[in-house]
Amino acid sequence: MTFSRLESIDLRHLTTNQPFCAGVILLQEGQLVVRLNADHLPSPKGNQTAAYRVRGMGGDQRLGETIWECALREAWEKLKVEIQLLPSPSTYFHELDTGEQYLVKSTDTTPPFLLERQSNLYPYTPLRPGLPTGPYTYYCLFLARPSQPITQPGTTEALLLIRPELWPALLQQPTLESLLQQGVTIIEQQEIPRQRQLWVPSWESLAQAAALLQKHSDLLH
């Protein structure tokens, strides 16, 4: 399949009655808020090493909702805190099939920070019964901020607040303790093991967004 570069996007036009997932890039006091869930480190030998997986604030669409409504709902379900979507001054488009990534113009009132697109192997099979089908699935992340400071982890085991410049350290599968020593903040219901490693799945849209966010210090204030 040949892909041509997009000069601009109309997110509502692209995603109405199409498969998508949506979430937020949540910023609090210049830090990126991410979730930690108990998991195991990936291993080609199948070894089970307890770890914490870094996750974003997003998920799959529900029938009838727009991509903006999906992002807001997903954030609320995970945090139990109202958030506000922010129009991004820059929008990146990432063609997952080819790996190409570039800036585009967005005609939407609340443009996303990152929009990713991937071809569907089974374009007539919905993710769940009743949901739309189409040739692509879109993955979208909006900039957002909480309506009040986040002090509880919501429905997640723990939240990390990390400065974007420390993201490369997170990709090295560090222990939680080593990150805390670098100034990362944790919000937790009960103390989780400090010596467990953290890992970021390569398929997480958050990983792509966090790398791009390092170029935009203006968005952190």
Which class is 8-215 in CATH? Answer: alpha beta
Q: Is the model's pLDDT at 1 over the cut of 60?
A: no
Task: Tell me what percent of the chain is helix, strand and coil, each rounded to the nearest 5.
Answer: 20, 35, 45
Q: Which residue has the tokens 């109405």?
A: 16
pLDDT digits over 99-149, tens only? 999 999 999 999 999 999 999 999 999 988 999 999 999 999 999 999 999
- 101 is written with which tokens? 């990534």
Query: CB neighbours of 191 closer than 8 A, spacing ≥ 6?
Result: none
pLDDT digits over 45-72, tens only? 767 889 999 999 999 999 999 999 999 9
User: What is the model's pLDDT at position 71?
Assistant: 98
Query: CB neighbours of 28 closer than 8 A, spacing ≥ 6?
Result: 145, 146, 149, 150, 161
Nearest to 140 by CA among 18, 1, 14, 20: 20
Q: What percent of the chain has pLDDT over 70?
A: 96
Reported confidence tier of residue 2, pLDDT bands at 50, 70, 90: low
Task: Determine the Cα–Cα distance for residues 26 and 77; give it in Å rounded to an integer.
Answer: 14
Give domain limits for the chain.
8-215
User: What is the model's pLDDT at position 76?
Assistant: 96
Instruction: Compute how many other C-beta atoms are within 10 angstroms of the C-beta atom of residue 163.
Output: 17
Instruction: Tell me what the pLDDT averaged over the chain comes to.
Output: 92
Selected residue with higher pLDDT from 3 and 86: 86
User: What is the model's pLDDT at position 43?
Assistant: 77
Q: Is the model's pLDDT at 221 over the cut of 60?
A: no
Average pLDDT over residues 189-194: 94
Selected residue with higher pLDDT from 156 and 44: 156
Are 109 and 87 in contact by the 8 Å Cβ rule? The answer is yes
User: What is the model's pLDDT at position 219?
Assistant: 67
Task: Determine the Cα–Cα distance for residues 82 and 164; give it in Å rounded to an integer.
Answer: 23
Q: Residue 148 to residues 22, 82, 107, 135, 160: CA-CA distances in angstroms?
A: 22, 8, 29, 39, 17
Q: What is the pTM of this model?
A: 0.93
Q: Is the model's pLDDT at 3 over the cut of 70?
A: no
